Amino acid sequence: MGKKIRVLFELVQEYYWPAMKPVYEQFAADSRYDLFVKVGYNHTRFLGIFLIRQKGKIEQKYRTMGFQVTDETSGFDIVICGDTLKYPESYGNALLCNVDHGPCTKSLRYRNLLKQPNTKYVVFAEGPYRMQKLKEYDLDQKEIVRDVGLPKLDPFFTGGYSRKTIEERHNLDPKKPIVLYAPTYKPTSIFEVVTTIGNLTDRFNVVVKLHPYSWSGKYAPHKQHQVFESLAKKNPAVVLVSPKEHDIMPYLFAADTMISEGSSVINEFLALGRCGIIFDLDDENLKHSDGEPLLVEKSSEWLKDSFIHINRADQLEAAVVEAVNPSDERKAALQKDREWIYSYTDGTSAAKVIAVIEELLSI
């Protein structure tokens, strides 16, 4: 056997792993590849001041699961990353593969790629919409862009998740629909939704899965998780998923509907063909520090025919009732938008990523 092809999975944030895992598994099934994982600092904030690294704990967890963990950046043929790399030059001549960790409507992915004009990535897109946006930013000229679908979603379509598993894990009532609240940390609807979501527990299973940054305190205040800890204490029927569970995908698969705002989970839930709820925020106030809009699409316009939009917490219950029983018109819109966002929803996207990489390596 000849020299193995060395592949590094750059896990800057642990919550990137669900986006990388299907690709890792495809590589792992082929003996030609030697796979490594590099873990980032994964800071949490203590007492509102001190940043505490979780890197060592995460590395030990991955070693226990059988992964090869490294701190090296050189000597690899391929690097799989969930975002742009902080020091791309340190990876030498490796093929840098940008498998985005979440297909949201934020401008961040485009901004980060444009900030590195001298670095070329293989940018994997999930479908027609993303291909169009990459072209609008001229990134199709700067990077190697390929439409492969979204590997993160493959387990949706290959039997990777089970609703029953989630029901049993959290003692949910199998006769009630599951409502998943999955806000992002910025911009967030947390402080509005927390006031009324507890009212849903008589008719629905209510599961709250916060963004990892809502727990860590580095990029968002600890109050984001504290208000839901308080709610779950007062109303034990509200299930607050532990911060130790980074992977939201099994919860998306189990949910009958979900609520969020600018998070990528909106688009990921769409792939299941189910109706979600978008909490519209004030787009005009959502800016980066340099004044560029945080979102590239108005939240009030995004998936406006397929998903239900609300802008007040008192609209939540009616929206949930409608979402779990969508009209025929809304079902048709869901299918149309699903095909606009995703080129493939058949569990083959990770294999397509490998095929592109092997094609580029052979050039």
How sure is the predictor about 217, in pLDDT bands with cuts at 50, 70 and 90?
Answer: confident
Segment 316-320 shows an average pLDDT of 98
Cα separation of 325 and 15, whole Å?
Answer: 32
If one counts the domains in the chain, the total is: 2
* CATH label of the domain that carries residue 45: 3.40.50.2000
Could you give the CA distance from residue 358 to residue 29 in angstroms, rounded to a whole number?
15
- Are 95 and 217 found together in one domain? no
Q: What would the pLDDT profile of 326-344 be if each residue is shown by its tens digit? A: 999 999 999 999 999 999 9
Reply yes or no on whether the pLDDT at 289 is more than 80: no
Report how far residue 55's alpha carbon sits from residue 101's, in angstroms, rounded to the nearest whole number. 19
31 and 55 share one domain: yes
Task: Identify whether residues 175 and 301 lie together within a single domain.
Answer: yes
289 and 229, same domain (yes or no):
yes
What pLDDT was estimated at residue 193? Answer: 97
pLDDT of residue 137: 97
DSSP string, 17-71: HHHHHHHHHHHHTSTTEEEEEEE----EEETTTEEE--HHHHHHHHHHTT--B--
**Whether residue 330 sits in one domain with residue 253:** yes
Residues 137, 194 within the same domain: no
Sheet holding 178-181: strands in order across? Answer: 238-240, 205-208, 178-181, 257-260, 277-279, 308-310
Do 58 and 205 fall into the same domain?
A: no
Q: For residue 26, what are the domain limits?
A: 5-153+347-361
Task: Report whether pLDDT(190) > 80.
Answer: yes
Exposed, middle or buried, 183 (CB in 10 Å: 0-12/13-18/19+)? buried
Separation between Cα atoms, residue 4 and residue 33, nearest integer Å: 5
Scan for tokens 């929206």, then name that residue: 319
Length of the chain: 363
pLDDT digits (tens, 9 = 90+) for 49-66: 667 788 989 999 999 999
Does the pTM exceed 0.75? yes
Do 259 and 292 belong together in one domain? yes
Query: Looking at the structure, do residues 141 and 275 belong to the same domain, yes or no?
Result: no
> 297 and 170 in one domain?
yes
Domain identity same for 353 and 326: no
Dihedral sign from CA coordinates of 284, 286, 287, 289: positive
Whether residue 206 sits in one domain with residue 298:
yes
Is residue 96 within 8 Å of 121, Cβ to Cβ?
Answer: yes
- pLDDT tens column, 133-168: 999 999 999 999 999 999 999 999 999 999 999 999
Map tokens 């963990």 to a residue.
69
How far separated are the first and last CA of the chain, in Å rounded?
22
